[in-house]
Every structure is written in structure tokens, then in C-alpha cells.
Amino acid sequence: MQIYQGRQGKYYVINGIKYDEHFPQKWAVDHMKGTDDFCYEVGPEVCFNCRYYGKIRGVFVGYCINCADEYNFKRGNGFGFKQTQEEMWESLDYMKDVKLCQIGDLVETRRLRKKKIPKKIIEDRVIFIISFILIVLSIYLNLIK
């Protein structure tokens, strides 16, 4: 399995999903598949919770709580929906000696990105404010007549 050097940590890729190098490879290639009478499938390829909660900086480190439950928590405690990722990642056995800053593949910038408001919206707002003032003014002028 080829290991890549990410921005923060090392990872490997299976079916387009980045896995932290410490995530057991035998699990990554063998997520539970649905059966005829039970069609729940687990893992980041099919589970949105895994993809959202199980990743740190774009790299998968552990199953979400639902999928972990499917394995009776033999593949980790799972990432809960209320705990922070930091709390959960620390409880994963295979991630024990890995620092949080050594996980992931994401460019992090110190500056908070400011949302730029498009010019058109600014113009619309100015027009709205001016027309609001004119309406209030005309009502006022009508009242003092």
C-alpha cells in the first residue's frame, strides 16, 4: 500500500478515501457490506457520518458511532455526534501515540477567511436603505400636513 505524505500526517488511499496510516489497512479494504436481510453498510465509502465525523482534516481515522456499533465496538468506540473529534480520536487504540497535529492533509491558514460580499448585493442593499428612508420620509411629510 502506498503511503503518501500529507500536510499534517501520512495517509493511504483506498477507493478515493484517504485513511490515516495508522488506521488498520485490513479494515479499510474490508468494511462491512450489507446482506440480503440487513442492508446497513458501514465505512466512509458509503456512510456520510463516517465521512463527516470520522475524518480529521480530510483523512479518515475512525468509524462514526453507528458504524462502530455495527462492529460491536471491536473497531473502536466510534466518533459520537456530540463529542469533539479530539476526544474521540484519543480513545482509538491504533491512534494512541499519534498527535492531533500529525493527522490530516489540509492546508491550514492562520487568517480567518472573510466572506466577500458581491458588489451587486451591496448595491441592492444601498438601494433598499435609500428607498426605506424615502418611504419613512414621505409618511412623515404626510403626517405633518
Q: Number of residues in contact with Zn ion, rule: CB under 5 A?
A: 5
Beta bridge partners of 10: 5
Please report the DSSP string for 10-75 in residue order: EEEEETTEEEETTS-HHHHT-PPPP-SS-----STTT-HHHHHHSEETTEE-S-BHHHHHHTTTTT
Figure out which of the listed residues 47, 56, 88, 92 binds Zn ion, where binding follows CB under 5 A: 47
Q: Is 17 in the site for Zn ion (CB under 5 A)?
A: no
The sign one gets for the Cα dihedral 96, 97, 102, 104 is: negative
CB nearer to Zn ion: pick between 5 and 15: 15
Q: Binding string to Zn ion for residues 66 to 105, with x set by CB under 5 A, is what? A: -x--------------------------------------
Figure out which of the listed residues 50, 56, 88, 98 binds Zn ion, where binding follows CB under 5 A: 50
Q: What residues contact 112, with CB distance under 8 A and at least 6 apart?
A: none
Q: Is 49 in the site for Zn ion (CB under 5 A)?
A: yes
Tell me how far, at minimum, the Cβ of 128 lies from Zn ion, in Å: 45
Angstrom distance (rounded) from CA 19 to CA 5 = 12
Q: Is 65 in the site for Zn ion (CB under 5 A)?
A: no
Q: Is 61 in the site for Zn ion (CB under 5 A)?
A: no
Binding site for Zn ion (CB under 5 A): 47, 49-50, 64, 67
